[in-house]
Amino acid sequence: METIIKISELKKSYGGIDAVRGISLEVNKGELFGLVGPDGAGKTTAIRILCGLLNSDSGSAKLFGKEISANRKEIQNQIGYLSQKFSLYGDLTVDENIEFFATIHGVKKYEQRRNELLEFTRLLPFRDRLADNLSGGMKQKLALACSLIHYPKILFLDEPTTGVDPVSRRDFWKILAGMLKEEITIFMTTPYMDEAERCSRIALMDNGKIISMGTPKEVKSAIAKSIVELVCKDVRKAYNIIKNNSSYEVQLFGDRINVMFANYEEEYKTIEKLLYNNKIDILSRKLIPPSLENVFFHLIAQ
């Protein structure tokens, strides 16, 4: 496989605060790679360094085998970037926005490419509409079309579906699936674990560091424990009782509790007795496979 993105011991600080703390990773050509983590994990800083918009304090960042800092202009002509707050021009139409970005990238005969992208993103019927009058999901599709007008080899997406409705999120992912068939490499950041599941490989990031990396299946297999999902009448009280009165790792997800056991057959009885003694009824229980959320919170706890 051809390595198209490579970073080694990358570091970046802002006023004494470490945003990225020595991360290293490689991405292969044609991959959909996800950098996954909560707000403040350092994801946006990392992606902006890869796009040549920020300089790192130390470490190495290469695209296409070339150091970004020394080949910034050449590299930026071969990548597309969709930021969290993409700067569309609200007083321009859909067509005019794409034309503007084609001009910036020096694409002269862009009309056919624009029509292909509008059809691809299902924006063809809205080409004469002002960007300000588009829905949130349609604005994201237009931003994507603008970032693809110059045939980039790598597309960087910084939390592209944050704040977008569920239907638009689904449409956006269909579009990305179509792009992968054209062998475009996609590097995206996301806080959503369900989106991480769709990636070919992921890196879980927290507090400026990568805490796990691999395929979603490989990352989930890192937990060598049994996970029991409990539904109780007073779920928050049950969670606090287990957390404060046992050594077992416990995680709260909405109306359900996940408890991790090294030996489920022997150890579950302890939790059952603990809740019974505190007058907490267990309404249901079941063994479940580990999720990426389980892995993420487990690694942070470690």
Per-residue pLDDT tens for 107-156? 988 999 999 899 888 899 999 999 999 988 899 889 989 998 998 999 99
DSSP state, residue 152: -
Same fold, 3-217 and 226-301: no
Average pLDDT for 29-34: 95
Per-residue pLDDT, 300: 87
Per-residue pLDDT tens for 166-195? 887 888 888 888 888 888 999 999 999 999
Those residues whose C-beta lies under 8 Å from the C-beta of residue 12, and which sit 6 or more positions away, are 18, 19, 20, 42, 45, 46, 49, 54, 56, 57
pTM of the model: 0.88
Fold classification of 226-301 is Alpha-Beta Plaits (3.30.70)
Per-residue pLDDT tens for 205-238? 999 999 999 999 999 988 888 999 999 989 999 9
Cβ(233)–Cβ(244) below 8 Å: no
Phi, psi of 111 (to 5 degrees): -60, -45
Domain 3-217 CATH (choose: 3.40.50.2000, 3.40.50.300, 3.90.79.10, 2.40.10.10): 3.40.50.300
Average pLDDT for 286-291: 94
Domain edges within the chain: 3-217, 226-301
Per-residue pLDDT, 128: 96
Per-residue pLDDT, 16: 86
Q: How far is 52 from 28, CA to CA, in rounded Å?
A: 19
Positive or negative, the Cα torsion across 286, 292, 293, 297? positive
